[in-house]
C-alpha cells in the first residue's frame, strides 16, 4: 500500500485519516480524499493533512487502495462511475450493509475487497473494528490494513454469520452505554453534583471499569463481586438493578436490533 484514498470524508473517515497520519502510519502526501462538497473537503484537508481531490476519478487514479466511506445509498452510483478504474486495486468499505458478497455483484474480479465495521469510539482511538473474515485482499495487504485500523482501537475478525451480532454489540452498544452515562449523571445531579462533573465521573468510571476487565481478563461477575462487600452499599444497588431486570433489558435491546 503506497497511497490511500477516501471516497467520502465524514466524521468516521476523518477519524481514520487523522489516526493514520498522526501516528505516522502513512505520510500526508500519501493520503487523498474526495467528497462532493469540495470547499468543506479542503477545510478538512487543512486540519487533518490529506490531499483533497476535486474529482472522484482523480482520486482513484492517484491511489492504489481506497476506503469507501460514503453513505450506503450512494455506493451504487459511485461504483457505476469508477468500477472500471478499480480494476487491480484494493477497496476497503466501512459502509453499513455492504459486505463482501454484496460488493461482488458490482466489482470486477481483479478488485480486491475487505468489509470493515467500525464504531463511534473509533473517533477517539478506542474503537472496535470488526473485520469480515471473508475477503480477497492479498496477505500483505490484509496485514497492512489491520495495522492501519489498529490506530483506532482493537481489530477483531469475525466470520460472515457473526458480523450482524458483532455490529449490534459494538455499533449500537455505545448508544446503550450513553443512556447509562446520562442516567447515572442524572442521579448525581439529583444529589447535588454539577452535571458536567457528574458526566465526567461516570464516563471515567465506565472507561476505567472496561479497561480493568480488558487488562485483567477477569470475568465481569468476579469484578462485580470484588466491589460488593457483605451487607454493603454496592450489593444493595446491584439488588435494585436485578429487580429492575437490567440484564434482561440489555438482552432485549440486542434482540430488538437483530429482529429489526
Give the pLDDT of residue 260.
86
Q: Is the pLDDT of residue 146 over 90?
A: yes
Q: What is the pLDDT of residues 241-256, one digit of tens each?
A: 999 999 999 999 999 9
Strand partners, 116: 131
What is the pLDDT confidence band of residue 23, given thresholds at 50, 70 and 90?
A: confident
**Residue 39: alpha-carbon gap to chain centroid:** 26
**Does residue 97 have a pLDDT over 90?**
no
Q: Following DSSP, what letter does each residue of the chain receive, concatenated?
A: ---EEEE--SHHHHHHHHHHHHTTSS-GGGEEEE-S-HHHHHHHHHHH--EEESSHHHHHHH-SEEEE-S-GGGHHHHHHHHTGGGTT-EEEE--TT--HHHHHTTS-TTSEEEEEE--GGGGGT-EEEEEES-----HHHHHHHHHHHGGGEEEEEE-GGGHHHHHIIIIIHHHHHHHHHHHHHHHHHHTT--HHHHHHHHHHHHHHHHHHHHHH---HHHHHHHH--TT-HHHHHHHHHHHTTHHHHHHHHHHHHHT-
Residue 60 zone, left/alpha/beta (φ > 0; ψ -120 to 50; rest): alpha
**For 11-30, what is the mean pLDDT?**
89
Tell whether the model's pLDDT for residue 151 goes beyond 90.
Answer: no
- Is the pTM of the predicted complex or chain greater than 0.85? yes
Candidate from 21-30, 126-135, 175-184, 228-237 with smallest mean pLDDT: 21-30
Reply yes or no on whether the pLDDT at 201 is more than 90: yes
Amino acid at each position: 500500500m503506497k497511497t490511500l484514498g477516501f471516497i467520502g470524508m465524514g466524521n468516521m473517515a476523518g477519524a481514520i485519516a487523522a489516526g493514520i497520519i498522526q501516528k505516522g502510519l502513512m505520510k500526508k502526501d500519501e493520503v487523498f480524499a474526495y467528497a462532493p462538497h469540495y470547499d468543506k473537503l479542503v477545510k478538512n484537508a487543512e486540519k487533518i493533512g490529506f490531499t483533497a481531490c476535486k474529482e472522484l476519478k482523480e482520486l482513484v487514479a492517484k491511489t492504489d487502495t481506497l476506503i469507501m466511506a460514503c453513505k450506503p445509498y450512494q455506493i451504487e452510483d459511485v461504483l457505476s462511475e469508477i468500477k472500471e478504474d478499480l480494476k487491480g486495486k484494493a477497496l476497503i468499505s466501512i459502509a453499513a450493509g455492504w459486505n463482501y458478497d454484496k460488493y461482488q455483484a458490482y466489482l470486477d474480479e481483479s478488485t480486491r475487497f475487505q468489509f470493515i465495521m467500525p464504531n463511534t469510539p473509533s473517533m477517539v482511538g478506542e474503537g472496535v473494528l470488526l473485520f469480515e473474515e471473508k475477503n480477497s485482499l492479498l496477505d500483505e495487504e490484509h496485514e497492512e490494513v489491520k495495522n492501519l485500523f489498529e490506530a483506532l482501537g482493537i481489530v477483531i475478525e469475525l466470520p460472515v454469520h457473526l458480523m450482524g451480532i458483532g455490529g449490534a454489540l459494538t455499533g449500537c452498544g455505545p448508544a446503550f452505554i450513553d443512556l447509562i452515562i446520562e442516567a447515572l449523571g442524572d442521579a448525581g445531579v439529583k444529589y447535588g453534583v454539577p452535571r458536567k462533573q457528574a458526566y465526567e465521573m461516570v464516563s471515567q468510571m465506565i472507561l476505567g471499569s472496561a479497561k480493568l476487565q480488558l487488562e485483567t481478563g477477569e470475568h465481569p461477575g468476579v469484578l462485580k463481586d470484588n466491589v460488593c462487600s457483605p451487607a454493603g452499599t454496592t450489593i444493595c444497588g446491584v439488588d435494585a438493578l436485578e429487580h429492575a431486570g437490567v440484564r434482561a433489558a440489555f438482552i432485549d435491546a440486542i434482540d430488538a436490533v437483530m429482529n429489526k
